[in-house]
Amino acid sequence: MRVTKTNNMARQLRIATTAAAASLLAAAAHAAAPGITGTSFHLDAQAAYITQPDGASIYSWGYGCASPPGGYAPTAVAGATCPDMQLPGPTLIVNQGATVTVTLTNSLPAQAGRTSMLFPGFEVTASGGVDGLLTKEAQTAGTVTYTFKADSPGTHSYYSGTQSDLQVEMGLYGAIIVVPTLSGRVATACSNSSNDRARAHDFGTGVEQDFRLASAAYDHAATCYDREYLFQLSEIDPKIHLAAEAIATCTTAGNGGASCPANMNSVATEQYHPVYFLVNGRSMPDDMDPNYASQYPHQPYNGNPHMHPGETTLLRIIGQGRWQHPLHEHGNHVRLLARDGNLLLAPNVLEGESEPRLAGPLLFTTTTTPGQAMDGIFYWTGRGLNWDVFGHGYVGDPSVCHPDANGYYTEDPTAQNYYEWCGDHNKPLEAHPFGNVGNGGPMTLPDPNIVANGAWYGGSPYLGGEATTRAVGTTPIPPSGTIANDPGGEAGFAFMWHSHNEREITTNNIFPGGMMMMMLVDPRAYLIDESK
C-alpha cells in the first residue's frame, strides 16, 4: 500500500464528506455479482432505450432473456429479473466443466441485418443461422445456437462478432463467470472456522448472508475471497446511436418521400467521440442505486462496492466497448490474479510448497483492454495511515491489539477491531482533539460544525460500533442531532473508485458523473446486505 496513493487522511476525509454531501446518492445499495444461472440460455438481441443521469434517453441494442432463465445468483438478491433487452447483457453464471448452450434470436430492427455472439477463450460449436466472417450469424427473426464447454474458470466476456464497430458500440456485450471446481484442499483453506466467523461478523448484531459465487476465484488456496463485484466498463458515442435510431425508425413519409436506408452501412463509427462512460451500463450516480431498480428497466446491474476492514474482495473487471479505461481503486492496489481466466503463476513450485505462488502484479489502476477480462484481489485495512482508525485510547477502553505474524489483530474474528493494524494502535488522529482520544496526532480535524453529513458519513473519523462515543467530547463530532447514520447503521469511510481519464468521470462533459462510484469501508458492526 502506497502512502502517497491511499493514506492521505485529508483526501480520505474529503472523499468521505463528498459522499455524505451528495445526498442524491440516497440509500445504500450493494453490488455483488448478480446474473443468471443454468446450462441452457435463450437470449434475444433487441432494441430499447437506456437512460443517463443528464436525462438523455439513448436508443441502444442489447442481449436479454427470450425466456425465463434457469435461475438467478446470488440466490438471495431481491427483485432479480432478466428483461428481453438489457445493457450489458445478462451475466451468465455457469459451473466449470459444464456444457453450455446459448441460443440467440435476432430481434433487432431489420435494417441492422445479421447478428451473432463470440465467446473468446472457449472452443465453440455453432449451429443454425448462416455463415459469417467470424462465426454463425442469426438473420433477422432467425436463431443460431452456440455450444461450448466451460473449462476455463474465472471472468470472461462475450460480444457480437458481426459489424462489431457498430453492434458492440450499440450495447451487444456481456459477461460470463465460470465458477471453479475446487479441490478439497482449497475448499478447506478457504472455509476454515476463523474465516467463517470473521465473514459472519456475528457479535450480537446478526450474521451476514454469504453472497459469494464460490469460496475461491480459482482452484488455488491463495485465491480465497470474502465478497465479489463485477465491473464492466464501456462508453457511448450518442451520434452513432442517433444515426442507427434514425435508420431503424425511418419512414418514407418522414424521409421527405425518399426511400429509407435498407441497412446500417451509412452509420459512421469514426470519428469516435464518446460522452457517456458506463459502469455496468450505468453512469454515476445511477450506478449506486440498487440492482434491478425499477427506474432502469434495461440497466439492471449497479456498481457500488462495500466491505469491512481486512476482507479480501474479488474484483471482476471487463473492458467492453472500444477504449481502454484506467479504473483507479482508491484505498489500496489490486493484486492481479488472472487475465481471461488464465491464472498468473510463478513458473516453479518452491520447495516445501504444494503449488506455485501467485505472480500477478500489484496494479495502481486496473487498465482495461477492450474485450479483456481480469480478476484481482483488493482489501483495505488502514495500515500505513499512522493513526488508530478504530479510535482506541479513550478512558476505559478495554480493547487490545496483539499482532499476528503479519502485524494485524486476528485473535478474535468477532471483535470490532478485527484486522486492525497493531502498529497504529492507540495512535491519535487529532493534534487538538474535540473528543477523548489523546493529542499528538498527525493532523487537526476541521470544526465539526462545518463538516458535511450525509447518508454514508457519520461525522466521525473512526470505525466501529462505538465510533461516535469515542469521538464525542465537549464539542460532539458531529454536532448533536445531525448524525445521518450511526456506526451501527452505515457510516464508514468512502473512497472514490473512478477512471483516471478525467473526461470519463463526466456525463456529457459535466462533472461528477460517468465512470465513477464509491467504495465504502463499513464498520464491522454494520451488516452489509447485498440482497438489495
pLDDT confidence of 387, banded at 50, 70, 90? confident
Lowest-confidence range among 68-72, 145-149, 437-441?
Answer: 437-441
Mean pLDDT for 141-161 is 97
Q: Where are the alpha helices (DSSP H) in 99-192?
A: 164-170, 184-189
What contacts 398, CB < 8 A, 6 or more positions away?
Answer: none
Q: Above 60 in pLDDT, residue 185? A: yes
Apex 180 CA angle, 102 and 368, nearest 5: 75
Predicted confidence at residue 353, as pLDDT, reads 82
Q: How far apart are CA 149 and CA 96, in angstroms?
A: 8
Which residues lie closer than 8 Å to 335 by C-beta, 6 or more apart? 358, 360, 361, 362, 363, 376, 377, 378
**What's the gap between Cα 274 and its chain centre?**
22
* Average pLDDT value for residue range 378-405: 84
- pTM over 0.85? The answer is yes
Q: Is 340 left (phi over 0), alpha (psi -120 to 50) or beta?
A: left
Q: Please give the pLDDT value at position 219.
A: 96
Would you identify the CATH topology of the domain 1-33+191-532? Immunoglobulin-like (2.60.40)
Please state, in angstroms and rounded to a whole number, the distance separating the CA atoms of residues 59 and 53. 15
DSSP E strands in 8-153: the ranges are 35-37, 40-51, 57-65, 71-73, 92-95, 99-106, 124-128, 130-131, 136-137, 143-149
Q: At residue 502, does pLDDT exceed 70?
A: yes
Q: Which grid coordinates are listed for 420?
A: 486492525
Average per-residue pLDDT for the chain: 85
CA 10 from centroid of its chain's CA atoms:
25
Going by pLDDT thresholds of 50, 70 and 90, the confidence category of residue 508 is very high
Cell numbers placing 208: 451476514
pLDDT of residue 517: 94
Q: Is 514 exposed, middle or buried (0-12, 13-18, 19+ CB in 10 A)?
A: buried
Residue 43 carries which DSSP code?
A: E
Residue with cell 442469426: 138
* Residue partners of 430: CB distance under 8 A and separation at least 6: 437, 439, 441, 443, 444, 445
Specify the amino acid at residue 401. Answer: C
Question: Containing H/E element for 15?
Answer: helix 9-21
CA dist 230 and 483 (Å) reads 32
Q: Which residues contact 382 (CB under 8 A, 6 or more apart)?
A: 309, 389, 420, 421, 424, 463
The pLDDT-based confidence of 487 (bands split at 50, 70, 90) is: low
Q: DSSP characters for 117-140?
A: -B-TTS-EEEEESEE-SSSEEBPT
More confident: 7 or 156: 156
Three-class SS state of 24: helix
Indicate the Cα dihedral angle 118, 119, 120, 122, nearest 10°.
-140
Please give the Cα distance from 75 to 95 (Å, whole number).
15
pLDDT confidence of residue 255: 86
What's the farthest any 2 CA atoms get from each other in the chain? 85
CA–CA distance, 499 with 512 (Å, rounded to integer): 12
DSSP annotation of 287:
G
Region of residue 461 (phi > 0: left; psi between -120 and 50: alpha; otherwise: beta): alpha
Closest CA to 132 of 120, 122, 144: 144
Residue 359 has what pLDDT? 95
Beta carbons of 252 and 220 less than 8 angstroms apart: no
Q: Has residue 490 got a pLDDT over 90?
A: no
CA atoms within a 13 Å half-sphere pointing along the CA-CB vector of 254 = 8
Give one DSSP letter per residue of 356-404, joined into a string.
Answer: PPB-PPEESSEEE-BT-EEEEEE----TTSSS-TT---STT------B-
pLDDT of res. 140: 97
Q: What is the pLDDT of residues 265-313, one digit of tens each?
A: 999 999 999 999 999 999 999 999 999 999 999 999 999 899 989 899 9
Please compute the mean of the pLDDT values over residues 110-124 and round it to a whole number: 97
Residue 375 scores a pLDDT above 50: yes
CB atoms within 10 A of CB 163: 24
- Range with the poorest average pLDDT among 144-153, 158-167, 189-198, 382-391: 189-198
Check residue 442 and give its pLDDT. 81
For 49, the grid coordinates are 432505450
Q: What is the pLDDT of residue 443?
A: 77
**Cα–Cα distances in angstroms (integers) from residue 151 to residues 117, 176, 439, in the given order:** 18, 12, 58
pLDDT band at 246 (very low <50, low <70, confident <90, very high): very high
- Distance of alpha carbon 279 from alpha carbon 115, whole angstroms: 24
Strand order in the sheet with 325-329: 306-307, 516-521, 493-499, 325-329, 366-368
Q: Which of 385, 495, 463, 452 is nearest to 471 (CA)?
A: 463
Residue whose C-alpha cell is 510448497: 353
